[in-house]
Chain A
């Protein structure tokens, strides 16, 4: 007997899997049920939204593009609101950024295939800045690792770390398997991280996350002693913490005592879990910094910048002129808000660029003759090295902007 009986499907789900809703839905259900079986789900759960990674042509290649076009041709349409992760370029200003014509053509074909499926080309890793904030306890299927961490940890929604195709399949099927972080028992802490180090900036938070992610790998850390009263925008600090841990480890959910919504649940801290104490952050800073002195590109906005972050950068740059390239990456919609508020004009007057729809991790940096990068993002520092072979400097937003003004890291 085939041992498929562990996963129970409703009559409607059986019909979808049998192809009664067409080949595109069948394929989506095949992916959803295969993963559900692999990870031991007993049933599926409806999802309220999807966030689909695997959008940049740099990562998809011809095979990925062909697959998306074929699925769209078969009639694939999303059943729930679905949002795209950043693409490989700013869709409007790619020429200015030096993106080759051929890359742009393939990238636009990718976006067209997704659009035919009914997916919003929001092109951001921060869908929570453009109106998608799932409620506490709601089930979603998100895939970009920092967005997954934010949805689970800060909003208390429930998602696994989906891959691009699996998040897309969940959007087309409207469901995902009830396993992993969808279940209460897997949302409990697996490690306690006692923070004794002084944490006073988003860079400190990133260094902390880089260390914690390495310690807990794919576990669920519970932070104790992490004080966020130094910032008026604690959500941005949490965004940076989650992004760092998702890059240095594979953390999809964390809790911060007194701050995140599930940290206070009575059974969140099982007895006897391992405990680590972090006394200082220098090892984290060391991991993210190379010996680099001259900087080609200063990159802020990983994950995508909020309107408030853009405003802060614009104020810093008032009356100044940058010497390096300066990219601040953000969602198209946030860029438009910043444009209306005059923030984009201020940054551009100083020689910086507010880049929408993309980021330094998924853009083809190897085609843009960038060799070295300074950033305030632990995630960008980690991935710029491993994905794009760039030298990196990592520090506070102010240090990065100073480097943009002088061309040198201090």
Chain B
């Protein structure tokens, strides 16, 4: 039986989105850390290095790096390589502004440690529904 978890967070960009979770245990830098043409995380040594965030619900603690990263997220949306939704433990300016200008639903203050890569996640404004994957978590 698939287990469903429900979390209530804080709306950063209102909207609804769903998809398979891609969970990063460490912060993500969009400028230089993600290839906007493919959506692949390219930061050397990052736990998700080589994995594409396109169409996924991207789950990570917080953003880091240059403020120009907001425009990287916007460019990913234009290229069709952006995540479908973003969930953070604690949002900061770069990713929040990026999600808003790119039109990507985003919510924060979610206990992200309870979400695993491969879970099916639906965001509806400030609410997050997580259907746990019965399979072993994908290697991220």
Binding between chains A and B: yes
Residues of A within 8 A of B (CB): 1-4, 27, 30-31, 34-35, 37-38, 54, 59-64, 66-67, 163-166
Q: With A59-B68, A163-B67 in contact, do A38 and B93 touch (Cβ < 8 Å)?
A: yes
Residue of B nearest to A29 (CB): B100
**Besides A30-B13, A66-B74, 6 other A-B contacts (C-beta < 8 A):** A3-B9, A4-B10, A4-B11, A27-B101, A34-B97, A64-B68
Q: Total A-B pairs in contact (CB under 8 Å)?
A: 77
Does B109 interact with chain A (Cβ within 8 Å)? yes
Does B81 interact with chain A (Cβ within 8 Å)? no
Does B60 interact with chain A (Cβ within 8 Å)? no
Query: Which chain A residues border B100 with CB–CB below 8 Å?
Result: 27, 30-31, 34
B8, B70, B71, B125 — which one has the most chain A CB atoms within 10 A of its CB? Answer: B71
State in angstroms the CA–CA spacing of A60 and B67 once bound together.
10
- Are the CB atoms of A63 and B75 closer together than 8 Å? yes
Interface residues of B in 12-70 (CB under 8 A from A): 12-14, 36, 67-68, 70
Selected contact of A163 from candidates B74, B75, B93, CB within 8 Å = B93
Count of B interface residues, CB-CB < 8 Å? 29
- Are the CB atoms of A163 and B127 closer together than 8 Å? no
- Are the CB atoms of A35 and B96 closer together than 8 Å? yes
Query: Which chain B residues border A35 with CB–CB below 8 Å?
Result: 93, 96-97
- Are the CB atoms of B67 and A2 closer together than 8 Å? no
Q: With A2-B127, A67-B101, A166-B93 in contact, do A37 and B68 touch (Cβ < 8 Å)?
A: no
Query: Which chain A residues border B36 with CB–CB below 8 Å?
Result: 63
Q: List 10 A-B contacts (CB under 8 A).
A: A2-B126, A3-B9, A31-B97, A37-B10, A38-B91, A60-B71, A63-B36, A163-B94, A165-B70, A165-B97
Query: Which chain A residues border B96 with CB–CB below 8 Å?
Result: 31, 34-35, 38
- Are the CB atoms of B71 and A61 closer together than 8 Å? yes
- Are the CB atoms of B101 and A66 closer together than 8 Å? no
- Are the CB atoms of A2 and B97 closer together than 8 Å? no
B75, B93, B96 — which one has the most chain A CB atoms within 10 A of its CB? Answer: B93
Selected contact of B101 from candidates A1, A37, A61, A165, CB within 8 Å = A165
Query: Which chain B residues border A2 with CB–CB below 8 Å?
Result: 8-11, 125-127
Query: Which chain A residues border B75 with CB–CB below 8 Å?
Result: 61-63, 66
Chain B, residues 77-112, CB within 8 Å of chain A (1/0): the string is 010000000000001111011001100000011000
Selected contact of B126 from candidates A4, A38, A60, A63, CB within 8 Å = A4
Does B72 interact with chain A (Cβ within 8 Å)? yes
State in angstroms the CA–CA spacing of A38 and B94 once bound together.
11
Query: Which chain A residues border B72 with CB–CB below 8 Å?
Result: 63
Q: What's the least CB distance linking B39 to chain A, in Å?
A: 14
Query: Which chain B residues border A34 with CB–CB below 8 Å?
Result: 12-13, 91, 96-97, 100
Q: What's the least CB distance linking B17 to chain A, in Å?
A: 16
Q: What's the least CB distance linking B63 to chain A, in Å?
A: 11
